[in-house]
Amino acid sequence: MRKNSHTNINSQYKIIAVDDEVGILDSLNVFLSKAGYSFVGVTDPMEAIEKVKNEHFDLMLLDFLMFPIHGDQVVEEIRKFNKDLYILLLTGHKDLAPPLETIKRLDIQGYCEKSDKFDQLLLLIESGIKAVSQMKLIKNINAELQATYEKLESAYMETIETLRFTVEAKDSYTRGHSDRVAEYSELIGKALGLSETDLKTLRIGGLFHDIGKIGIPDSILLKTTKLDDNEYSEIKNHPAIGAHIISNATIFKDIIPIVKHHHERYDGKGYPSKLQGEDIPYLARITAVADAFDAMSSKRSYRDSLPLEVVRQEIEKNAGTQFDPEIAKAFLHILDTEPEEIKRIQNL
């Protein structure tokens, strides 16, 4: 009963053997089929490469000395498109096995001398199949965890998006502001040669940089005249409020520095932490330029939009004081070289 159960389990795994001696393949076929494995034997190493490319196999038994290419060359080709196949190398003589460095480099899991008796080989195969089984289990668990994580991420994103739209719904003049800041930030990041990961962080950070305004009273947020000192102090709390809102969600940990520090100034006179120069998180320095540009070039409740040339002069004048000079320079270059892209974003 146990034997049949073991055989049924083995039948889930597919083994391919590559050897230019038909007699050895026939013997392996009898031996491994009796053990319950699904078996395919191939005499041509080039055919074997194509089979592995087009079919799924869990384990390969591979002769080393073959024509027209040796076993290590077969593995070299297979590893170009398949990193997971478990490979056992078979050698007629131990002395003829490839160097240990080659075995490690090609991720060959083991080798065995050919013999009329297959007991040692079966032990190696069973050990290999156990390893394959564990890897499958780990992959399945990781896939399930990833699916769960993506569902949680989606739920968090929807919740924060709702808060963001609530903020923008309060004030028609700022509607679309976060989307534009996200686009400008990503545009600057690309010009600075940032990685895809950083570009994604910039985009999400731009979308949620003003989320803390949900905690600012409408009487202040929508005021059409100049804010008094107390009201301005209240407005300055929105970066810290925003950072607090998203701090409990792990998926937002990378954008917290953007949300919290996009109003810092390069000269240290910004808020909330009065950070200076390179102490300000780099991505926050990028968002600061994008945020200021959109604020100046958009119509607000207390003034009309400023002409593009005036905005350009303001950024140039404040490079090194309000803005990181290198980031300001990069954005000024974008204004000169990508005017159509700037117009597209302004129309969002």
Q: Hey, which residues are catalytic here? A: 213
Residue 136: strand, helix, or coil: helix
Question: CA dihedral in degrees (27, 32, 38, 43; nearest 10)?
Answer: -30
The full DSSP string for 163-215 is HHHHHHHH-GGGTTHHHHHHHHHHHHHHHTT--HHHHHHHHHHHHHTTGGGGG
Least Cα distance to 106 among 130, 137, 83 occurs for: 83
Residue with tokens 């962080």: 201
Determine contact, residues 284/257, Cβ cutoff 8 Å: yes
CA distance 342 to 182: 13
| Residue in 295, 327, 330, 323 with CA at minimum distance from that of residue 310 | 295
Q: Nearest to residue 313, comparing CAs of 301, 328, 326?
A: 328
Q: Which of 67, 61, 27 is nearest to 44 (CA)?
A: 67
Contact 301, 217 (CB under 8 A): no
